[in-house]
Chain A
Amino acid sequence: MVPNAPVPRPHPANPAVPMLTQPFQIRRVRQETPDTFTLALQPAWGAAPFCFLPGQFNMLYAFGVGEVPISISGDPANTQTLVHTIRAVGTVTRAIQKLKPGQVLGVRGPFGSHWPVAEAAGHDMVIVVGGLGLAPLRPAIYQILAHRAEYGNFELIVGARTPGDLLYYKELEQWRGRFDFRVHVAVDSAGPEWRNNVGVVTTLIPRARFDPWHTTALVCGPGVMMRFTVQELLQRGIKPENIYVSMERNMQCGIGLCGHCQLGPYFICKDGPVFAFDQIEKWFALREI
């Protein structure tokens, strides 16, 4: 188990009306990759602080089009600006992509469980992400770096399809320049200009330095990537209860009532999306669950 007691999770500001969305104004838009962009949001009126824990998500609403669950990818210490990184893959995310600074979208949240970052203080930290999986883990990275002295070794392992698909490219470069944690990056395929690792992200795991008995690992990425990453981490001796994964399902209400996000006995939106691996091991292995 993680060394410290669980931190109580934040809920929507007015839990009596979790079905109502709150208007937030877009302050900045940044294109991350050809199909992925990051929004910085602030409440459209009033400036109530938005508190969340790393790994939690919001339901983002494009006026009249629909709503999608998107994990929060900003700094949890910054309660004034809400940051989301979104890949435009469906009707709603494409509608959100068309919004310009000054325009408004709806926000409901924060919902769901969180990465046990504060709870893991004292442990070595290993974060393994694939593709867009870096977005829900960036808040955890910020929080660990803000309290860096409280943790042992910190290894960040990042995988992407191509160098052009790497999220937060500049930030990754800055992080690689630091002496207080190690960043490993691999891409599945690249042109000759890429002078770093080529291969699946799991091939980097043997390079990470940690004391397996006192390590917490946080894993997020596509299903296949998580499956092989968890296997590799288990082989290196990390206990299943100290490996955390973030699961994905259809989510519509965000509040555990609509039934779409079931994974066996769990509702991903309220029992997850972050689970300790031992909690969902049985369900992780089943197909079409």
Chain B
Amino acid sequence: MMLFIRECKKIFHSLTFIIYFAAVILMFFTQFWPEMDEPVTSSTIDSYELAKISGEPETIMPKALDSLTGCYFSNTYRCYPYGLFKAVHLNSRDNDKIRDCITEMSSLNADELEELKAASSISHVKVGTNELESYNVKGVPLSVDITYERFREIMGEVDDILGGGSDYRPDDLAYKFSQEPMTHEEILEQYDEFMEKDHIAIAYGRLFSDYLGIILAVIPVFVAAALVTADKRTKMNELIYSRRISSFRLVFTRFAALVLTMVIPVLLCGAIASARIMYMYKGSTPDIAGAFAVSGKWLLPNIMLAAAMGMFISELFSAGMAILVQFAAWFMCMMMTSMPLYGHIRRFTFICRHNSLFYRSEFMKHYSDFIFSRIFYTAAALAAVLLTVFVYELKRGGKFNGIMFFGKDSIFRHKT
């Protein structure tokens, strides 16, 4: 217990923790706080301009097929493989594969497609530096035999041919081709869910976790890396190595201290948000405990994994490598986040997004995936800590001194 308290004190006094604390508070007040300007009421909810994704195959299939056919005619496909725009122009072989996909989904053969191309009106759209011909295609007849499952499969093939990130990615089809504004009645249903099922606070808890989860997936790595390398900087390594304490106890105590200290600013923000919610919704009974429960499940694995990776990679390579790896992982997760920012949580989603107080049913649809991902990343964090124990033990025994790519201890340097 003494060791744990000492490690906590060490972290509290470190500059990295102070910056971490400031970053969490900054994120809370700049991103989440403005969402609590005024309470949601049945009369103000219309201002949220909610959209619904019908997800009905009868809506999706004709629209997606028309869009793909138009892109095939102009051989220009808009893709966002890593979040950034990419205009894809296929070679004739790959474009023929797209044609085959279209002919399978529609009741047209290749010759009829050519006839449709000739009959379609052309407008000019600016794509990048080019002004390209855009075919206005409407009403391509669907094949009577095509099922929605097969349609999704074919669209998956199309997305693969295009290199990913296209409008035709099966998971995005519903969002891209069946989005429409909600009716007043549907908006009121959202309000009922907000009041009756989310008990106000749980909806705020999800939004709070959405914002804070973004930075908690990366900044704990700095605090962890700084803690691990502090021994080396202060030349305390050898002294600690010679102590009787087991590597398992030392590393796990440090990890627990890191996680606990880094949870504190999150709890503080949660408490401020709770006070604000109770003030805004006087007369109601917001489920504050439920909000803390959802935020805990959501954010704790992010903090744990980022901290554990920071410890493990810093011990194995260096602090710089830990920062590089975690930042690269964070960047890719962020760039590959699908729109809309709700309803996309899957089994291996690390940075979970639900950027709305509403759409509870979309969140609950994938709730088991959400729980799976949280358990998975918690287990991954614990595995990384166990590996850190192993590396630390090797270092203590003098059998290993970390992997270096450069310098006199480089693994590439021939030792005589």
Q: Does A associate with B in a complex?
A: no
What residues make up the interface of B, taking CB atoms closer than 8 Å to A? none
What residues make up the interface of A, taking CB atoms closer than 8 Å to B? none
